[in-house]
Structure 1
Amino acid sequence: MPNTDQTYSTSDLSRKSGDIIAEALRHPVTITQRNKPRLVLLNIEDYRRLKARADTRHSGTIETTPATLLDEIEAAVDSYAEDDEAAR
């Protein structure tokens, strides 16, 4: 996907929305507010491609980890410790 190489202000978006949308259909466009990037407009195909590649991992805590996974982790740690002891 091409980099956003064109930048418009929110005022530009109000005045030239049709032109900016037409440009965003070709490549991502950055919209700034008070000279800071705030939004990126991109076509639906680029959006779907980004969304499909998104990282779906979630973080959790020990309390939210399933017991079966904790058992597997414990077994792996025990096995590693036994192997380490045997190597000494």
Structure 2
Amino acid sequence: MSGSNSTFTTSDFSRKSGDIIAEALRRPVTITQRNKPRLVILNIEDYERMRRQADTRMVGTLETMPDALLDEMSEAIEAYADDNEGGRS
């Protein structure tokens, strides 16, 4: 997303929605209500770029982890422990 984003109030949006939409096609626009940011309007290309770059990691537990990944992690932990034990005097 290029440039800084512009800020308008909800009253501005009611009166000048066409102008604000035109601005949002160029850069993100923040809409405030009672001096607090409430909405951001941005063009579809910026939105899709944000979605593609979003962190898709998921939270889980050892119980929900696939067996193959759990085995791989266990082997890595054991190898790390073996390396640390060998380096101690």
State if a TM-score over 0.5 links the two structures: yes
Moved more, 52-61 or 35-44: 52-61
Instruction: Provide the alpha-carbon RMSD of the alignment.
Output: 1.3
Task: Tell me the residue number matched to 2:4.
Answer: 3
Instruction: Work out the CA distance in 2 between the residues paired with 1:67 and 1:51.
Output: 29
Instruction: Work out the CA distance in 1 between the residues paired with 2:45 and 2:81.
Output: 49
Deviations 1:29-56 (A, max 9, x none): 1100111001111111111111111111
Counterpart of 1:63 in 2: which secondary structure? coil
Under a length normalisation based on structure 2, what TM-score does the superposition of the two structures give? 0.86
Calculate percent identity across the aligned residue pairs.
Answer: 66
Task: Tell me the residue number matched to 1:62.
Answer: 62
Counterpart of 2:30 in 1: which secondary structure? strand
Instruction: Work out the CA distance in 1 between the residues paired with 2:14 and 2:7.
Output: 14
Structure 1 residues not aligned, in runs of 5+:
none
Instruction: Work out the CA distance in 1 between the residues paired with 2:17 and 2:24.
Output: 10
Q: Which amino acid aligns with 1:40?
A: V
Instruction: Work out the CA distance in 2 between the residues paired with 1:16 and 1:34.
Output: 18
Under a length normalisation based on structure 1, what TM-score does the superposition of the two structures give? 0.86
Instruction: Work out the CA distance in 1 between the residues paired with 2:4 and 2:64.
Output: 39
The answer to which structure has the higher helix fraction is 1
How many pairs align?
Answer: 87
Q: Which amino acid aligns with 2:64?
A: T
